[in-house]
Structure 1
Amino acid sequence: MMMGKMLFLVYLNFLGIFMASTMAEDKLMSPSKLRMFVDKLPDMPRIKGYDVINGIHVPKSFKIGMYHKKWKFHRDLPATEVFAYGTSWHTATVPGPTIEALHSVDSYIKWKNYLPSKHILPWDPTLPTATPSSKKGIPTVVHLHGGIDKPQSDGHSEAWFTRGFKDHGPKWTNRKYHYHNLQHPGTMWYHDHAMGLTRVNILAGLMGAYVIQQPSVEEPLGLLYGEEYDRPLVVFDRGFRSDGSIYMNSTGNNPSIHPQWQPEYFGDAIIVNGKAWPYMKVKRRKYRFRIINASNARFFKFFFTNNMTFIHVASDSAYHERPVELHDLLLAPSEIADVIVNFSKSKSNSAILANDAAYPYPSGDPVNDANGKVMKFVIDPHHEVYTGHIPHKLMMYPSPDVSKSSNTRYIAFYEYTNGEEPTHLYINGKSFEASVTETPRVGTSEIWNIINLTEDNHPMHIHLGLFVVLEQRELVNLEEFKKCMTKLNDAIKCKINKYSHGKRTNVPLHEKGWKNVFKMMPGHVTKILVKFSFIHSNESYPFDATAEPGYVYHCHFRREYTSVMIVPTGVGAAIGGYAGDALPVARALSSVVECLISHPNVLNAAMLYWPMPNSLYVEGYALDRFAEGLWALQPVHQNRVGLVFDAGIEEELLIRHLQVVDATRASLGLPIVGYTVTDTPLLVEKWVDPTSGQSTGRIQRPDSLLRAVENLKNGSKVNAVAVVARFPDDDTEDLDDYRQGKGIDLLAGVEAVISHLVVRNFQIPCAHAPAVLPPQLDISLCPRSAAEEIGYTFLPCVLAGLSTAPQYLVKGNNFSEDCILAGDVDSVIVPINACGGDGVLAFANRQINKPLIIAVEENQTVLNDTPDSLGIEAVKVSNYWEAIGVIAAHKAGVDPNSLRRNRIKNIAPISFVPSNGYAISNAKSFV
């Protein structure tokens, strides 16, 4: 169990709003001009956060972008500029798609920022705000509200990034977020969380629902989930101008301090799932609604005009122990209510979901005709028989044990004013930028006393931990206590017990369970028990929750660093000319880069196999097309691998290979789904090119191989293929030389011919393993060739590589957003005299995003294609040790030449030549 301290962030769901200063208020669209209940309630797109392969739920990796587009909030309102989440610009919606995750199945989401350089709404530079160094781009970061995730995926407000990750905040660490989905089943929502911009980015539309389902515990309850009758309702308010744009007031409350900021935003149009006052046709039966209040500051007190009730089954992300029936439902900003509504009990054929919460809540203005209505349900008059029921008992989580709490804390909310208007809100008198003071230990529980010294009801949300409310009491002699707290900022020294014995406010029955948001009443102290472990199991988190940033003390990358390592096949490379002798280099390289792309000649090691999760196994022909920009690489979690065996393989040798296949399936868990045998022997021939000295060859029956792959692909739906062809036995003299570390690999050249043929025709990953009889024992074997002597096949390493090899995307078929392109490559490492291949030349000739070419002098081949002979600009290094150092420098943004003595020359204009070796004598040359 981790017992380190967590850096912990507490924040209020009190989203103050920036106010525009350039628009006239007379352009405000009156709500009375927008007829209610004319737009159908949208059911937002649903995205499964998992895949299903052979009936098994497996992790899924996918992309969700943030797009600038127009959105119709109402039939009679012009389209509105918004920011929207979606898998593409065309599918992006406000709110974003509902993500349906599965308990204990990981979801990996790459949140992509496609927003423009300038915001569609104004923002106030006088507040602490995420600001790109380039002053261009809109910072965003996604927080999964209610999620129990590692800090790097929590969406810290300073982990923001701009379009293309060009700029990022000081806490940003990774592009892809990992959601474990190990917590209890329930409803959450995701939204923007960028420092100082949360309010305007959410106002622009960046929000959506996220549901974790757990059929094993939810199905026995008999409740609806994930079906037609289970609908998330994302509710928020907006004001609009007559041109359809989102309305914001002209000035801030304190324009001399904050010219545009106001602490609260209210709009008269009530939006549900992206439509103003929509309607929904329902049957006379039970429906489940997961209601999310995504407003900036508006509380909702929901009720039905026909006196129907809500059956409250879950609050925020956690089920109740028992359902609670309610006639009205108070929901604060960011709070979630999971309810069942039984329309069969309606005495009328329609019902309006209405609102009766003052704004600001609780002592502000009463609702009006516009913001007092939310949506309309049109009820089918025909009776529908439905046998579903609501159980008397829901989920029993372990009861909170106050006696085992490890610490007691006092947390006070202060609102600072200038005259009568607020200027800022602090917790314990400290700004967000101040040092962290809450450092609970993982696996513990703590008592927190939340002291609200402001005049507003503040819904408080805690990242990571869930809590139960123990009691809520009014503070007596409030002004006296405020005066002391303002002076000492210490609840104990101010004798909190003297003031916290006022009237006790009962915690509503439906809010007595586990929460991640609660309404902290003004002038009250609210005692909560916060739990820093899973509430359903009491188990600790499976990740390091003690890390920065504030709930990752990490080095920060501009973006993932990608290297390509190339060692051509069959050219007698000093390193890489044998099975596996380049693998140690690949292992070392993979430890200093985020992504290493290489090919089977580097990564294969016969019967040996070494997993490198950040290494991509790419066949040579595909690697060339990738370098040319014609293909892209799509990383995968798992492929369906099939095998093609040459009909020329003897029966006993074939059986031995099939046994090896079964061994990899049983011992490595590789996804090998089937095999086939060619209809005729392939008849492999091999020879050495007399011009280049490179091994090569051919198969006499390529048609037979292509037919076999086609049949395998169509029959078993494989998306990666291993080919095993019968090779002629080696000449004794050539074999002896090779086993003694001399000569070239006579098999490698024709192996490449075979895999090239398959990849070129089918655009899927392929690799070859030769079928040969094992040679006689040689007691003086060279270690470089030893990997080929411990067995009679290369199949284990080939199958392991193909199991997770990236898929190939061909240009013209719309590259996905999370694929890898040639322009993403930062460096290419190649033997010094093997630079003439298509891939190296393509990388060297790139005009945009040209990678660093590193030529290794120690790795000699039979070729003579040096960088100098080909006019390639390259960094020459003696060995792979130096290559790794150059990559480390390049990755850090350090000029590799600065690591060498006297390699940095005087800087000067192109036309200027310095007069000496170390100093520029003419300072005007810099003008």
Structure 2
Amino acid sequence: MVRVHFCFCFCFCFCLLLLLPPSLAASEEKISTKKTNPLTLLDPTTVDKFVNELPNPIEIRPLGAAPVKLPALPTRTWMGLRDREGKRLMTKVWGFEYAGRIHSPGPTIRAREGQPVFVHWANGLPGPHLFPVDRSIHLADVKDPKAVPIVIHLHGGHTEWKSDGNPLAWYTRNYRETGPQFDKKIYEYDNSQDAATIWYHDHTLGMTRLNVYAGLFGFYLVGDKNEDRLIQEKLLPSEEHTRVVAITDSLFTSDGQLYFPGWRNQPPSPVSHEVVKANWPNPSHLDEFFGNFILANGMAWPKVSVTPHVYRLRLLNASDTRTLILRINEDIPFVQIGGDGGFLDHPVQLDELVLAPAERADVLVDFSGYEGRQLTLRNFGPDIPFKGFVEANDPKSSIPLVYNPGGKRVLSDGRGGTTPATDPNNTGQVLQFHIASAPTKVSPDRQKTAAIDTIGDLKLTLNTPLRPPLNRLSQASKIRQLATYRLDDPYGRNLLMLGPVKEGSLFFEDPTTEIIQHNAVEIWEIYNPTVSAHPIHIHLVEFQVLDRQPFKGKLIPKPQKFMHTDKTFQGARLEIESLQGKPLPPQPEESGPKDTVIALPGQVTRVIARFDREGLYVWHCHLLSHEDYDMMRPFEVLAPKLSTAD
């Protein structure tokens, strides 16, 4: 009788467990795991800084029409972490396999202007995901809950749309499942653009933040004859004195594994402190991510061994939410020679460098005169989303700027106050340059160049043209008024959205509102009534920043359906009341071709671009957590019109 009663109870409990929703069952499993094995985070102060060399990604130089195969695969890598006994902690990541090894971040692809490159971004990820996947948001609709979809976007590439990495063109391992816009396995990049520092990264719907954080990104460098000339004429450093540096921030568990918050009753980020509330889905999307470790090319706080020469640093901010404000100690200036889309017209000297997520900067740093020294690349960006620089004595009334004139301004908190810079001992440091000793005798060439205001041992001056002057667009066939929105979803979570000013907030899945004539030149006015800056990225085009201008406006409530569900929530549309003052021109370092621009709070940011390829593309905020939920919208460029003669 006792045995029968026991079997009945066991079967009843087992059936009850089967009836639980998967998310709840998973939640209970996590809670149970936490009770027996509490998850703890690694303390960044326990990690030795500036002792491990900066990794240099392997380079691929594709030739001909043969595609380069780069399968996405799981691996373990060393990111500079050790346990208490000094043993290396190996970290699970995802990367791309090339030449018999899995690289995370991925290999650097070297391309040439006008020479096509074909890449097979195969998906070999077995799943499940390394990080919590919130299935309450608009997500790649895979039937197998353990499958991991990917799709790769060449960020900054002038790419035909079927190779652009549309978020709906995702695919799982061995193409068992594919998204509604999946079209081809091998992507073609025709490289119809000038020399530039661009990059590739995952772009899967609702999972970009997770896949990029896992390691699915890398550099893609386009070269051309103009860049060759600059190097040959010693106006720019040689490849020997060039480094690519992708900067990210991360969290780690005490056993050295990457950690991304999202489960209830697990540790929040010790930087942002955001937790999954009791009424939220579990796991849940969080609207920002900040780590307390800084990585460069996947290594925590590395050193860079250099010689006392001018070095070219091709910098990328690949972080989720963190805007970097970079300086080198002892006030060593940067000389910026290029941005997102290639070279500036002339070099620009800067005391500090502001890089929002996805922005790139091509800079020169002169290490001559610092033989045998160590110089630290520091970050003065905030531990909150960037909101601009304001006057310290009157932050409420001063107009936020994207730069800090004279270094006298402070960081805005977006609500009329100020916010401090980040922790100077951890996220306030990026890497350290270790400059080798040099012969005491200075060469005659160096003495000569130093006398004519050249930059170090180069022949470059601040007046040297780097390219033919950029063809400035002026006449536009259409001006579009677009806006950013910060709202509450039905659970009370932050929901970030985009949409035209007229229609108001729209989800990514709502009908396309930006339909563009082929080869049209358009001005996009991006109004930002939120309290944070948003780095806005437009696929396909290299735009030119026109200006920024403060505005006054108010949000009008707009009852709205919540994505594809039966729920509703309070959306909004922006009513613009007036523009304030004169437009603020772009900074000199923003004067080159761009694909990502910082749209400051309380301001309209204007850009102009030519849309010269037909197809389906997207534009979005490049704070990856914002992009995933749901700050992304499609746009379509129509096919060329046939002439009557045709």
- State if a TM-score over 0.5 links the two structures: yes
Deviation string 1:215-254 (CA, Å, 9 cap, x unpaired) is: 3454146444772222110110001011111123344555
CA drift at 1:506: 4.6
Contact residue 341 and residue 542 of structure 2 kept, 8 A: no
Opposite residue 388 of structure 1, the aligned amino acid is: L
365 and 485 in structure 1: CA distance in 2 versus 1, 3 angstrom threshold: farther
Match of 1:67 among 70, 73, 84: 73
- Give yes or no for the alignment of 1:152 onto 2:223: no
CA distance in structure 1 between the partners assigned to 2:636 and 2:247 by the alignment: 28
Contact kept in structure 2, 1:98 and 1:209, CA below 8 Å: yes
Residues 246-285 of structure 1: per-residue CA shift (max 9 Å, x gap): 1233445555244321011111110001100000110010
Q: 1:183 aligns with which of 193, 203, 214?
A: 193
1:209 is paired with a residue of what secondary structure? strand
Q: 1:513 Cα shift?
A: 2.1
Which one of 594, 597, 605 corresponds to residue 515 of structure 1? 594
Rounded to whole Å, the distance in 1 between the matches of 2:313 and 2:572 is 43
1:366 to 421, 429, 443: 421
Q: Report what 2:330 is aligned to.
A: 306
Distance 2:432 2:543 in 1: 34
Do residues 474 (structure 1) and 529 (structure 2) align? no
Q: For residue 442 of structure 1, report the CA deviation from its aligned partner.
A: 2.4
Which of the numbers 34, 59, 70 marks the counterpart of 2:47? Answer: 34
- Given that 1:254 and 1:422 are in contact with CA atoms closer than 8 Å, whether structure 2 keeps it comes out as no
Residue in structure 1 matched with residue 467 of structure 2 by the alignment: 395
Q: Once the 2 structures are TM-superposed, how far is the Cα of residue 120 of structure 1 from its aligned partner? A: 1.3
TM-aligned CA distance change 1:420 to 1:484, over 3 Å: closer
| 8 Å contact kept, 1:466–1:532 | no
Aligned partner of 2:596: which letter?
V
Structure 1 pair 427–79 and aligned structure 2 pair: CA distance change class (3 A): farther
Specify the code of the residue in structure 2 equivalent to 1:85: F
More strand by share: 2
Map of 2:210 onto structure 1: 200
Q: Secondary structure of the equivalent of 1:82?
A: strand
Higher relative contact order (CA 8 A, sep 6+): 2
Check conservation: 2:306, 2:434, Cα contact below 8 A. yes
Deviation at 1:400, TM superposition (A): 2.2
After superposition, the C-alpha distances for 1:785-827 in whole angstroms (9 at most, x for unaligned) are xxxxxxxxxxxxxxxxxxxxxxxxxxxxxxxxxxxxxxxxxxx
Could you tell me how far apart the structure 2 residues matched to 1:412 and 1:547 are? 18
- How far 1:309 sits from its partner (Å)? 1.1
Offset from partner CA, 1:138-165 (integer Å, 9 cap, x none): 0000000000110000000010011111
Note if contact 1:452-1:521 (Cα within 8 Å) is conserved in structure 2.
Answer: yes
| Distance (Å, rounded) in 2 between the aligned partners of 1:367 and 1:129 | 33
Q: 1: CA distance between counterparts of 2:513 and 2:147?
A: 33
Between stretches 501-510 and 130-139, larger displacement belongs to 501-510
- What RMSD in Å do the two structures reach over aligned CA positions? 2.7
Task: Give the gaps of 5 or more residues in structure 2.
Answer: 1-26, 83-87, 265-274, 388-412, 414-418, 447-456, 560-569, 619-633, 639-646
- The equivalent residue for 1:297 is 321
Select 1:94's aligned residue among 95, 101, 104.
104
Pairs aligned (count): 510
CA positional deviation for 1:456: 1.2
Match of 1:277 among 288, 301, 320: 301
1:135 CA drift (Å): 3.3
- Residue of structure 1 equivalent to 2:12: none
Contact 2:484 2:496 in 1 (8 A): no
Question: The residue matched to 1:482 in structure 2 has which SS?
Answer: strand
Is it true that 1:79 corresponds to 2:90 in the alignment? Answer: yes
Contact 2:151 2:171 (8 Å CA) reproduced:
yes
Of the candidates 234, 237, 243, which is equivalent to residue 249 of structure 2? 237
Partner secondary structure for residue 535 of structure 2: strand
Contact 1:258 1:423 in 2 (8 A): no
Is 1:530–2:530 an aligned residue pair?
A: no
**Is the contact between residue 308 and residue 346 of structure 1 (CA under 8 Å) also seen in structure 2?**
no
Contact 2:517–2:637 (CA under 8 A) maintained in structure 1? no
Q: Distance in 2 between matches of 1:395 and 1:307?
A: 28
Q: Distance in 2 between matches of 1:522 and 1:451?
A: 8
Residues 262 and 380 of structure 1: is their aligned pair in 2 closer, same or farther, counting only changes over 3 Å? same
Find the counterpart in structure 2 of residue 227 from structure 1. Answer: 239
In structure 2, relative to structure 1, the CA distance for the partners of 1:460 and 1:279 (3 Å cut) is same
Question: How much has 1:132 moved relative to structure 2?
Answer: 1.8
Distance 1:225 1:119 in 2: 42
Alignment partners' CA distance in 1, 2:616 and 2:45: 52
In the alignment, which residue of structure 1 is the partner of 2:435? 379
Task: Tell me: CA distance 1:514–1:239, structure 2 relative to 1, closer, same or farther (3 Å).
Answer: same
C-alpha displacement at 1:95, in angstroms?
Answer: 1.0
- CA drift at 1:381: 2.2
Q: Which residue of 2 aligns with 1:120?
A: 130
Encode CA deviations 1:192-226: one digit per residue, 9 max, x unaligned.
00001101001111110000000345414644477
Equivalent residue of 2:200, what SS?
A: strand
Distance across 2 between alignment mates of 1:28 and 1:331: 27
Q: Displaced runs of 4+ in structure 1, greater than 3 A?
A: 19-26, 220-226, 250-255, 345-348, 383-387, 418-421, 483-491, 502-506, 544-553
8 A contact 1:306–1:352 mirrored in 2:
no
User: Aligned AA for 2:465?
Assistant: K
Whichever structure has more helix as a proportion of its residues is 1
The 1:169/1:488 distance shift into structure 2, 3 A limit, reads closer
Give 2:56's aligned residue: 43
Distance 2:325 2:201 in 1: 23
CA contact (8 A) 2:548 2:603 kept: yes
Q: What's the TM-score, normalizing by structure 1?
A: 0.52
Q: Are the counterparts in 1 of residues 310 and 364 from structure 2 also a CA contact under 8 Å?
A: yes
1:166 corresponding residue in structure 2: 176
The answer as to 2:121 corresponding to 1:111 is yes
Q: CA deviation at 1:465?
A: 1.2
Residue 287 (1) aligns with residue 293 (2): no
How far residue 297 of structure 1 moved from its aligned partner, in angstroms, is 0.4
SS of the residue corresponding to residue 229 of structure 2 reads: helix
The residue correspondences of 1:431-580 to structure 2 (distance < 5 A) are 431-476=507-552, 478=553, 481-483=554-556, 494=575, 496=576, 498-502=577-581, 504-533=583-612, 541=613, 544-545=614-615, 551=636
Q: How far apart, in 2, do the equivalents of 1:61 and 1:225 lie?
A: 31
Structure 1: unaligned runs, 5 residues or longer: 1-18, 52-57, 534-540, 554-927
**Correspondence for 1:569:** none
* Conservation of the 8 A alpha-carbon contact between 1:253 and 1:422: no
CA distance in 2: counterparts of 1:290 and 1:485, whole angstroms: 44
CA distance in 1: counterparts of 2:102 and 2:617, whole angstroms: 34
> Residue deviations 1:310-354, cap 9 Å, x none?
110111122100100111101000110110111114377110000
Shift of 1:286: 0.9
The offset of 1:61, in angstroms, is 1.9
Structure 1 residues 519 and 424: alpha-carbon distance in aligned structure 2, compared to 1, 3 A threshold: closer
How far is 1:389 from its partner? 2.5
1:256 aligns with 2:279: yes
1:507 deviation in Å? 2.4
**Are residues 107 and 301 of structure 1, via their aligned partners in 2, closer, same or farther at CA, if it must alter by over 3 Å?**
same
Are 2:372 and 2:434, in contact at CA under 8 Å, matched by a contact in 1? no
Partners of 2:483 and 2:246 in 1: CA distance: 31
Contact 2:109 / 2:219 at 8 angstroms: preserved in 1?
A: yes
CA distance in 1, matches of 2:81, 2:276: 34
Q: Distance in 2 between matches of 1:126 and 1:193?
A: 18
* CA 1:75–1:359: 2 relative to 1, 3 Å: closer
Shift of 1:189: 0.5
Match for 1:482: what amino acid?
L
SS in 2 for 1:164: helix
Provide the C-alpha distance between the structure 2 equivalents of 1:153 and 1:255, rounded to a whole number of angstroms.
41
Letter in 1 for 2:426: A
